[in-house]
Structure 1
Amino acid sequence: MGAAEHQFDHNSSHPGPWAERAPRTVTTLMVGKLICAGAGEQLCRVRNISATGMMLESPFPLRESDSIVVELRGGPVLEGKIMWVSAGRAGVQFSAPIDVEEVLATAKGSSPAARLRRAVPRAPRFQLATTARIVCNGISHAVVMENISQSGARIRLPNQPDLDRVMTLVIPGLSPRSCTVRWIENDVAGVAFIEMLPYAELAAWLNEMQAPR
C-alpha cells in the first residue's frame, strides 16, 4: 500500500488510542522543523493533517515507532509517533488530538493574535553553528552563523564591521545568499535573505551537516 493510500489509517495494523479515524483530513503543504532522536534538527514538509495525525516527508531516513516533534512556521509544535514509513514519507499519530483549524491559522498567520501583530509567521530556525563569510562594501569578513532558516540567519560578527544595506552571506555547502540586515545587537545580527533558500537545498545541507561522522 502506498503512502498516499494509507495516510493516517490507524484502523489497520497500527490501531491507536482513537477507535475512529479523524473525520476531517486537511491537505496542505507546510514546512516544519523535524526533531527526532539521532537526526538533530531536519527540514520536513507536512503534506496533510487531521486532529489525530499527519503525513510528512523528509529526506532524513525515518523509522517506525520513533517519537518525533515537528515545529511549524509561526510556532505550533506537534508531537507524535511514526506509524509507517514509505519512500521518504511517514505517517505520524499525535500524542494527543489537536485543533487543526487553530494550528493551520497560526502557521499561516491568520490567527487573531497574528493579525493583531500584523506579523508574518517566522520560518522554523535550525540551531547549527558553523563558520561562514559575509561580504559587504567589497570586503569579506569571517563570521559564525548561529542559526538558519529558509528566509534568513543569525550571525555573530567578531570584528563588528560596518554593514552595507545589501550583503552576501557565503555558507560552505550552500549557494551564496544576498541578504539585508534586520537587526543588530552588540556583535550579533539577524539577516534576511532577499530570495528564500530553496527547500531541497537547505534540507540536503542540514542532512549532510548533521549526519553521523
Structure 2
Amino acid sequence: DRHIAMLRLAKIRAESGEGWGFIKNLSSTGMMLEVHPSFELGENISAELTEDQILSGVVRWRENALVGIEFSKPIDVSKILAKPHETVSGRIARLPRIEVSHPINLYQGSELIHGDICDISPAGICVQTDSTFALGKNLRLSVPELLNINGVVRWQSGNRVGIAFSQRLPLDDLMVWLSTFYRAAKIDAVELAELNQEDNMSRARDLAAESLPFHVIGHDDLGKEILIDKMDTATQALIQFKATSKFFYRVSIRNADNVELSIGTIVLRAFDEERLAAKP
C-alpha cells in the first residue's frame, strides 16, 4: 500500500489526554505520527484533522517521537488530502482546539486578572474569567511553562473570552507543554485527592521551595543524566525546562536532596512566585 508523505497538523486524543501531533505519512490502512516523546499513548488513539475529519486506529509501534498507527478500517485518502470544506453550519471546518483546565494570569495594563484556560490552539485561546473586556483589547497572558504571550480579545460570551494570539505559538513549545501538563495531572491525581484541607494545600505549594536550588536534569534515551542548570526559583526552573525539553528524551526537575518534583508542584509554586511579585 503506497504511503503519501505529508506534514499535517492534527489533534491527537489518547487515554492520557489530548495533544498536538504531525501526520508524517498516510495510506488507506495507516499513518505515521510525530508526537512529543513524553506524550503517553494508549493502544487506541484518534487523530482529528478538522472538526469533522477524525482518523481512529491502533498503535502498532513507537520509536521515541514517531508512532505507527493502523486504522480500524480503510479510509479514502483523496478526501483527507482535499481542501477544507464547509460544515453543516456553512463555515469552513477549522482545526480542533485542545481542551485544557489550567490556571492562567491575564494582564490588562498593570491589572492582574486570574482565569482558567478552557481550550487552546497555536492561534488562540479561550479563557474563563469573571472580568469583562472590550473587543479589540490588548492583553498579556502568563502561563509559567509557556512564558508570556500577547493577544487580542476577539469575543466574549458570559464568563468565557476568546483571545487571538498576536503571534502563533511555536508548535514544539505547545506540544511540550501539553505533554508535561497531562503527565503532571496523572502524577498529581492521587496527591490532590488527599490534599483537600487548606493547610495541606499550602504544604503542597511549599514542597517545591524546600531544599533549594532546583536542579534541571536532562535524560537521554539510554538513561544517562546530564545536569543542565541550577535555578533559585520555580519560575526559572520551568523556563529552563521548556527551553531544553526538545533536546532530550526527558527532562526532570529535582530539589537539592535529589528528589524529583512533579511539574504540577513546580507550576503551583511558580504561580505563587508571580503573585507575590505582583503585590505592591
Same fold (TM over 0.5): yes
Shift, 1:165, TM fit: 2.5
Shift, 1:163, TM fit: 6.0
Structure 1 gap ranges (5+): 1-20
Shift in CA distance, 146/49, structure 1 to aligned 2, threshold 3 Å: same
Shift, 1:27, TM fit: 1.2
8 A contact 2:104–2:116 mirrored in 1: yes
CA RMSD in angstroms comes to 2.4
- Aligned residue in 2 for 1:52: 29
Shift, 1:137, TM fit: 3.6
Shift, 1:152, TM fit: 0.8
- Aligned residue in 2 for 1:183: 155
CA distance in 1, matches of 2:14, 2:131: 36
- The one-letter code matched in structure 1 to 2:75 is I
Shift, 1:132, TM fit: 0.7
- Aligned residue in 2 for 1:204: 176
8 A contact 1:64–1:85 mirrored in 2: no
More helix by share: 2
Does 1:34 find its partner at 2:12?
yes
Match of 2:97 among 125, 142, 163: 125
C-alpha offsets along residues 85-133 of structure 1, whole Å, 9 cap, x if unaligned?
A: 123211111001111121222xx52x3x27x9564x5333111111111
8 A contact 1:129–1:145 mirrored in 2: yes
* DSSP-derived class of the 2:22 partner: strand
CA distance in 2, matches of 1:54, 1:62: 18
- Aligned residue in 2 for 1:147: 119
8 A contact 1:45–1:56 mirrored in 2: yes
Show the 5 A alignment for 1:1-213: 21=1, 24-37=2-15, 39-60=16-37, 66-105=43-82, 108-109=83-84, 111=85, 113=86, 117=90, 119=92, 121-162=93-134, 165-211=137-183, 212-213=186-187
CA distance in 2, matches of 1:56, 1:158: 39
CA distance in 2, matches of 1:130, 1:181: 19
CA distance in 2, matches of 1:90, 1:198: 21
- The one-letter code matched in structure 2 to 1:45 is F
Aligned length: 184
CA distance in 2, matches of 1:138, 1:164: 17
Shift, 1:134, TM fit: 1.4
CA distance in 2, matches of 1:131, 1:145: 6
- The one-letter code matched in structure 2 to 1:166 is N
Shift, 1:73, TM fit: 3.6
Shift, 1:74, TM fit: 4.6
- Aligned residue in 1 for 2:239: none
CA distance in 2, matches of 1:95, 1:197: 33
Structure 2 gap ranges (5+): 188-280
TM-score, length-normalised on structure 2? Answer: 0.60
Q: Which structure carries more relative contact order (alpha carbon 8 Å, separation 6+)?
A: 1
Larger radius of gyration: 2
8 A contact 2:133–2:156 mirrored in 1: no
Q: Percent identity?
A: 28
TM-score, length-normalised on structure 1? Answer: 0.77
Shift in CA distance, 172/29, structure 1 to aligned 2, threshold 3 Å: same
Shift, 1:59, TM fit: 1.3
Shift in CA distance, 62/94, structure 1 to aligned 2, threshold 3 Å: farther
Shift in CA distance, 201/62, structure 1 to aligned 2, threshold 3 Å: closer
Q: Indicate the larger mover: 181-190 or 164-173.
A: 164-173
Shift, 1:62, TM fit: 7.2
